Structure 1
Amino acid sequence: MTYSIKAALLGSALALASPALAAGTHPVTGEKLADEQTFTYRVLDEHTSVDPQIVEDVSGSEIVRDLFEGLYNQDKDGNLVPGVAESHTTNDDKTVYTFTLRKDAKWSDGKSVTAGDFVYAWQRLADPATASEYQWYMEVMNIKNAGAVMSGDAPVTDLGVKAIDDHTLEVTLESSLPYFALTTTHTSTFPTPKWAIDAHGADWIKPANIVVNGAYKLTEHVANERLVRERNDMYWDNGNTIIDKVVSLVINDENVALTRYMAGELDRTEIPAGQYPSLSQSNPDEATAFPRLCSYYYTINVSDNAPEFLKDVRVRQALSYAINRDIIVDKVLQGGQTPAYTFTPGATANFAVPSVDYSGWTQAERNEKAAALMSEAGYDKSNPLDITLIYNTSEAHKKVAIAVSQMWKQALGVKVTLENQEWKTFLNTRGEQNYEIARAGWCGDYNEASTFLDLVQSGSGYNDAKYANDMVDGLLKDAKTMDNPQPNYTKVEEIIAADMPIIPIYHYAGSFMIKPDLIGSWPVKNVEQNWYSKDLYKVAE
């Protein structure tokens, strides 16, 4: 059996016509376009990297999607649309995927983008020598021999990916994976230029050295301050790109960012915690909130060297139960978020949120149960537990942490030390398990429940709790080949709700101020929020 995704069938990819653009109107909507097409937006922290195989954060991935292009992109509704790949076919048992690459895709230095560039990038991702934080994604994709390559037991050439010719990429899976095509929109799978990396090493991503195949080139980067990308004339669809220049500004304080937005310096910024209700009244054409495929949670160190009290499941359960999630979303954040009692959000495609036990209790019942559990573990208000909670610097994270610490103190007598850290330091601290409890957030890499639940699999690169459960591992492994994996996902959610290695707090909403001349092109219906500057545009006032 063969299966093919053709460009003409891939949803709403816009085939914009250059004559209309030249006339200053949008060729599909007919809107008059603004003369200046520069998009400026705020980010909280300096990104981790713009190297596709190294980047590990959301803001960095947003930049990488502008600079590089993978096999497939997403449209404004989250559907797959062609990127470098025009289509693909599969064999009968869907274990071999053959991608046909477009012949007009070029690198910014004029070289053609080839299947070999993808082979190099995927082998580079799996190679232990690269030390990618996203190396584990190769196993998420179920690529043949990924595990052996990642462990160093097999050469990278054994990875199940090869170039049949310059424009035909063949990928072999360990077994059929129903959502495999969805995983190819992730930035870690984007091609990288071997010749540039060989020539410049780690410095290949500097503006003077970088070679890209996306709609934009990197033209300026001032660490912890700003990053600028401008149109790439070599991009295959450059003639249909409207936004000319994209500027991301690092502004750590969300209230300062809002002030600068109001002053006209930014086209988009996050709404500070608690301010959505008032801003939606005062600026209804700019304040917007919508569901996102993201979960906000606290991860608990349960590694071998974790404090003994955190290895006690009663303590972990008590800490989770004592958090009043309704107060967090309704009083602290007020931005359309929803309380979370499971890790996987309800916005996930084809996923039914299971009703885990404690989700059905009243908060009074949760607090009563929490106090009893903490007492059983040997702690109470006369013999309080001391905990350190870390979070990356952000006013919103601070507000949540303060609220949670007060809830723990009031309900359980727990003494909490709050510690904020700069982003990269925080990632290192959490990743090396040098913490007790840490703030965490996860946005889906693709729209399927495994993108969340794989984080509690024992071998996951982002299992910062170092939680290990053989039953969970088995359920997740079996789910990969199931036509309906919901029963397995339900069971995994029930197990982690009982073991509590993580504490789900809320499911995200996108809560932004977006200038009226841009808001019409923002992909609010894409719950993954994989946006591409090439698809945005500004209309004339």
Structure 2
Amino acid sequence: MKMRTFLASSAIAIGLAASAQAASVPDGVTLADEQTYTFWLLDAIKSMDPQINTDVEGSDILRNLFEGLYNEDGDGNLTPGVALDHTLSDDGLTYTFNLRDDAKWSNGEPVTAQDFVYSWRRLADPATASEYAWYMELMQVENAAEIIAGEKPIEELGVKAIDDHTLEVKIITPLPYFPQMLVHGSTFPILQSVVEEYGDNWTQAGNLVGNGAYNLTEHQLGERVVMTKNDTYWDAENTVIDTLTALTINDNNQALTRYLAGELDRVQIPAGQYPRLKEEYPDQAISTPYNCSYIYMLNVGDKGPEALNDKRVRQAMAYAIDRDVIVDRILQGGQKPAYNWTHWAIADFERPQIPYADEMDQPQRIEAAKKLMEEAGYGADNPLTLRLQYNTSDDHKKIAIAASQMLKAIGVNAELDNYEWKIHTDRMQNQDFDMARYAWCGDYNEASTYLDLMTSYSGHNNGEWFNDQYDKIMKDSKTAEDPQPLYKEAEALLAEEMPIIPIYHYAKVDMINPAIKGLPQNNVQNTWYGKDLYRVATEE
């Protein structure tokens, strides 16, 4: 695989990619006098704590306030962060990272290898109660599983500071994509002394000390986040944008109006409006593949409705939803219908043959769904009533309404439940739902970032579908020379058991101010950093 080639020469490749760091302003470009970037958030940021945050929008904020071992460039290649490079032992189990000596915290203290040791132990520590503790286990870090289970002390985690600028990480099985996993926010360092001084308040503006290119200067929950350039950042000299501002606007249409009024530099295009906006603003309306999948998660756990324990009901519901209608008539932004979990653009991934996707058209799916429901004891004379929960968004509402109409045709009455983001996610984490809108954006560009989520040991398997065969497939994939056949097996099993209903694979569909340069367009992760951006002068 391409990843294996990269791994074998990772220190060299990362060194060559160093020029991709920070804003690269071409000769002859006139910069704007005010270097600002204002972007849209749909929901409030739940946490500014790297080890606690679980949201994509939160990650966009944290990536600017903190810096991990590696970053990504606009093409998705790894570039140096706090780590300049690394070496790998012959057995593929020990990574030794060479940390830069000019990395500093925003209070002027040096960033050290011990900061990573503290932060990674904190992530795995059951006392932290992080939903992303499992990520340390997915990274195969030595003793992570036992520490998360409370069976070993955090001091036995396979991470060690050899000296201030040398970090050693031991993993339990060779993992070709391990370096790629290090761009995720949960692995970012935090400063122990600040956490101990302020406790739960350490993430507030004025208290938070980060090592990223920006400082947190204002956070009004549900309204705005303001970040200003951090002069102690190792590459501050090449950071052009002075101020990053995120505005929380729950109404996507209102956000678009504010973009067109010049109040925002980037906003998501509401469902159905991309064709019109692309025609009217061809240099501003952008659609690119985006490593996220949209699903309805089904609660098959003890708190879920008994009907969903019947595989036939789950299959019937999945068959009944016409994804082409959702993608072509509602969204209209370059998204693709999804009949499986993993995004189609993931590196090296090929989905297996899925009978209901590849051997049936939609009328045939509907007929098959009706028969399955009848076999399960449901139909027009005995409909099944379920709650369909989604978080506040016009787009989610439109999709939910369409899905409820499609499900009604097979004897399922889907009653719509709408909640703000925090309540929506809290209810899902407490298994207080029947079926719920959910989306997963890959933490890295490899299929396991999706497929591991459905294991019994996942921190995000809120539907509580637990399957020993599936767990074994995914555990075997960690030691397989080529995991791709096992990924196909996992997808086939999901399509058979149907604990989730795939709806569509994302595209990043945005209006972007043409004055803003440096946003990635060739990275399926769509990972961006404020330090890479700049604003050009425009004619009045």
Q: Could you say which residue in structure 1 is the equivalent of 2:17? A: 11
Is 1:539 the equivalent of 2:533? no
Q: Residue by residue, what CA displacement relative to the aligned partner does 1:225-245 show, whole Å, maximum 9, x if unpaired?
A: 001000000000000001110
How much has 1:482 moved relative to structure 2?
A: 2.0
Give the alignment's TM-score, normalised by structure 2.
Answer: 0.96
CA 90–42 in structure 1, closer or farther in 2 if over 3 Å, else same = same
Q: Work out the CA distance in 2 between the residues paired with 1:74 and 1:197.
A: 28
2:367 counterpart residue number = 368
Aligned pairs for 1:135-534 (under 5 A) are: 135-360=133-358, 361-409=360-408, 411-518=409-516, 520-534=517-531
Deviation at 1:129, TM superposition (A): 0.4
1:504 aligns to what SS in structure 2? strand
Contact kept? 1:144, 1:160, Cα under 8 Å: yes
Deviation at 1:31? 2.1
> Take 1:234 and 1:124, find their aligned partners in 2: how far apart are those partners?
25
Please tell me whether the aligned partners of residues 42 and 250 of structure 1 are also in contact (alpha carbons under 8 angstroms).
yes
Counterparts of 1:384 and 1:29, CA distance in 2: 67
Letter in 2 for 1:101: L
Stretches (4+) displaced over 6 A: none
Matched residue type, 2:377 = G
The aligned runs of 1:103-142 (5 Å cut-off) are 103-142=101-140
Secondary structure of residue in 1 paired with 2:535: coil
Q: How far off its partner does 1:350 sit?
A: 1.0
- Give, in whole Å, the separation in 1 of the partners of 2:217 and 2:229: 10
Q: State the SS of the aligned residue for 1:211.
A: coil
Aligned to 2:4: none
CA distance in 1, matches of 2:332, 2:10: 44
Q: Runs of 5+ in structure 2 lacking a partner?
A: 1-6
Once the two structures are TM-superposed, the CA of residue 453 in structure 1 deviates from its matched residue by 0.2
The structural deviation recorded for 1:128 is: 0.4
Task: Give a deviation string over 1:40-74, Cα, whole Å, max 9, x none.
Answer: 01100001111110111011000000000000000
Task: In structure 2, give the amino acid aligned to 1:11.
Answer: A
Q: Please say if residues 2 and 92 of structure 1, whose CA atoms lie closer than 8 Å, have aligned partners that are also in contact.
A: no
Contact kept, 8 Å, 1:178 with 1:480, in 2: the verdict is no
Give the Å deviation of 1:2.
Answer: 7.7
What percentage of residue pairs aligned between the two structures are identical? Answer: 54
1:89-147: CA deviations, max 9, x gaps?
Answer: 01101100000000000000111000000000000000000011111101110101001
Question: What is the letter of the counterpart of residue 131 of structure 1?
Answer: A
> 1: distance between equivalents of 2:152 and 2:448?
26
Aligned CA RMSD, in angstroms, stands at: 1.4
Contact 2:14–2:79 at 8 Å: present in 1 too?
A: no
For 1:170 and 1:355, the matched residues in 2 are separated by: 42
Return the letter of the residue paired with 1:367: I
* In 2, Cα distance between equivalents of 1:315 and 1:484: 34
2:18 & 2:31 partners in 1: Cα distance?
20
Against the structure 1 CA distance between its residues 395 and 13, is the aligned structure 2 distance closer, same or farther, given a 3 Å change threshold? farther
Once the two structures are superposed, the pairs formed by residues 70-109 of structure 1 within 5 Å of their partners are: 70-109=68-107
In the alignment, the residues of structure 1 paired with residue 160 and residue 126 of structure 2 have an alpha-carbon distance, to the nearest angstrom, of 19
Q: Distance in 2 between matches of 1:295 and 1:30?
A: 41
What TM-score comes out, normalization by structure 1 length? Answer: 0.96
- Report the CA distance between 1:3 and its aligned residue: 5.3
Checking the alignment, whether the CA contact within 8 Å between 1:3 and 1:88 is kept in structure 2 is: no
Cα contact 1:12–1:75 (8 A) shared by 2: no
Query: What does the per-residue CA deviation read over 1:488-527, in whole Å, with 9 as the maximum and x for residues that have no partner?
Result: 0001000010000001100000000001111x42101111
Deviation at 1:76, TM superposition (A): 0.3
| Post-superposition offset of 1:305 | 2.9
Deviations 1:407-426 (A, max 9, x none): 111x2132111011111111
Deviation by residue 1:436-483 (Cα, 9 ceiling, x = unmatched): 000000000011000000011111000111111111111111111223
SS at 2:133's partner residue? coil
The residue identity in structure 2 corresponding to 1:265 is E
For residue 538 of structure 1, report the CA deviation from its aligned partner.
Answer: 1.1
**Matches of 1:8 and 1:346, distance apart in 2:** 27
Q: Which runs of 5+ in 1 are unaligned?
A: none
Residue 8 of structure 1: CA displacement?
Answer: 6.1
Q: Counterpart of 2:279 in structure 1: which amino acid?
A: Q
Structure 2 Cα separation of the partners of residues 297 and 40 of structure 1: 29
Equivalent-residue separation in structure 2 for 1:363 and 1:232 (angstroms):
54
Match of 1:62 in 2: 60
Q: Given that residues 390 and 419 in structure 2 are in contact (C-alpha distance below 8 angstroms), is that contact kept between their aligned partners in structure 1?
A: yes
SS at match of 2:256: helix
Tell me, what secondary structure is at the counterpart of 2:523? Answer: coil
Q: CA deviation at 1:306?
A: 1.9
Relative distance call for 1:276 and 1:174 in structure 2 (3 A) is same
Instruction: Give the conservation status (yes or no) of the 8 Å contact 1:56–1:133.
Output: yes
Aligned residues: 531
Per the TM alignment, residue 29 of structure 1 is displaced from its structure 2 partner at its CA by 5.2
State the distance in 1 between where 2:348 and 2:21 align.
Answer: 30
Measured after TM superposition, the shift of residue 30 of structure 1 is 3.8
Counterparts in 2 of 1:342 and 1:15: CA distance versus 1, 3 Å: closer
Q: Secondary structure at the match of 2:482?
A: coil
CA apart distance, 1:401: 0.3
Q: In 1, distance between residues paired with 2:17 and 2:113?
A: 25
Find 1:41's aligned residue among 4, 28, 39: 39
Structure 1 position 10, deviation (Å): 4.1
1-side partners of 2:253 and 2:330: how far apart?
15
CA distance in 2, matches of 1:7, 1:334: 38
Aligned-partner SS, 2:515: helix
